[in-house]
Amino acid sequence: MALLSPEQLQKWRDEGYLVIPGFFTPDETTEMLDRAHKLLNEFRIEGHPLTTFRTEEDGEHVGDDYFLNSGDKIRYFLEPSSLSPATPTSPAQLLVPPAQSINKIGHALATLDPVFRRYTLENDRMTTLAKELGEHISPRVLQSMIICKQPKIGGKGMSSERGTELRAVPCHNDSTFLYTDPPSAVGAWVALEECTANNGCLSFLPGSHKTARVSSRFVRAQGGGTTFEDVPGVEPNVEKWDELDGWVEAPCSPGTLVLIHACVTTDTIEKGSVMHRSPPNPSDKSRVIYTFHMIEGGEGHVYDEKNWLQPTKEMPFPALF
């Protein structure tokens, strides 16, 4: 029996994203959320390099070894707002309990964690769904992670209670960060808690996957760290995506699966993934999600050594089917 109706497939092609309520049962969702909480509670600050995850809007990205060598590991990345600034005489200090300081845990949960592996690589419904979408011949799974929008930290604005600046995840598309030639990234995003406009649900610009170009990519910089570089032969995007009309919020309940579109080809010109973003979480309710991505691993697509996230000989990106 097909998981997707013809209407859902058409919506996917037309709008560039698809919200599937109840893809995971309440019991399955609870198991994933419980596992996420267990991982959060196991975090210990001792020995951690205090790596924080920053978005493009911050003007910099994390680029140290802890981040760059996380493709075959389960590692913890902190919210910048959870730390006091380091000074010449004192190191950075956590401003919140350790479990509330985490922005994300990644990037190999689907391979290394038994719970998330069960609902990703060992999930027959996920395999069937990917086949029905028809975006990949040989999908490879990468960048599997828990993302936490912690209460009152992790978005743009100010938390009056803590006096810390909050940040939003700015408008972006996934192929910029997981670049293949030609682009092929598809995101799978699973709500583990209620996601609302108040605590940071996703928003999309429907149809933008047909016009947005993958004109830059996030890469390892020469000499260390990370940077963005232009994709040769692709006209840069000049659109002010955030200012365009038509953005749609996608609030969803626990167990919802949100699919985020890959590249489409029109008139032999390859376009980019759908533009999406998420707002701050100034509320007192957390927003914990699990997400992973798929790229084409078959012939005709190249995932090169410039990409920030790299497979290893011991742990290549696993095939979904």
pLDDT in tens, the chain (321 residues): 899 999 999 999 999 999 999 999 999 999 999 999 999 999 998 888 887 766 554 545 555 889 999 999 999 999 888 888 878 888 788 999 999 999 999 999 999 999 999 999 999 999 999 999 999 999 999 999 999 999 987 554 333 333 344 556 778 899 999 999 999 999 999 999 999 999 999 999 999 999 999 999 999 999 888 999 999 999 998 899 999 999 999 999 999 999 998 665 555 455 568 999 999 899 999 999 999 999 999 999 999 999 999 999 999 999 999
Q: Which two tokens stand for residue 154?
A: 């992790």
Of the candidates 308, 303, 306, which has an alpha carbon nearest to the alpha carbon of residue 317?
303
Q: What is the pTM of this model?
A: 0.91
Q: How many residues comprise the chain?
A: 321
Q: What does the pLDDT read at residue 74?
A: 98
Non-local (6+) Cβ contacts of 7 within 8 A are: none
Q: What does the pLDDT read at residue 165?
A: 43
Q: Which two tokens stand for residue 163?
A: 């006096």
Of the candidates 268, 262, 255, which has an alpha carbon nearest to the alpha carbon of residue 293?
262
Q: What does the pLDDT read at residue 49?
A: 85
Distance CA 99, CA 201 (A): 21
Distance CA 229, CA 105 (A): 26
**What is the C-alpha radius of gyration for the chain, rounded to an integer number of angstroms?**
19
- HSE (side-chain half, CA atoms, 13 Å) at 215: 10
